[in-house]
Amino acid sequence: MDQDFEYRWCKYCLAKTKQKIIFVPKIPTYKRRRQYKCTVCGTETWLLGRRPSAESVY
């Protein structure tokens, strides 16, 4: 996986922070949860993945 950081909402920092992706499921669909770790406070959370863009948007 070439992208191991994402900017996601941290409920403890109450801001959008850079989060490291710790765990990705074997079949990565947007409904399966991924484990993220906040680089600011160090909190680990399970969040849903980003929804893929529709092909009509391209």
Q: What is the pLDDT of residues 2-54, one digit of tens each?
A: 468 989 999 999 999 999 999 988 887 778 899 999 999 999 999 988 776 66
For residue 55, what pLDDT band results from cuts at 50, 70 and 90? low
Question: Which residue would you say has higher pLDDT here, 9 or 56?
Answer: 9
Which amino acid type is present at position 50? R
* Neighbouring residues of 1: CB distance < 8 A, sequence distance ≥ 6: 21, 24
Q: What is the CA radius of gyration of the chain?
A: 12
Asked: is 5-50 a CATH 2.20.25 domain? The reply is yes
Say what the pLDDT of residue 33 is.
Answer: 92
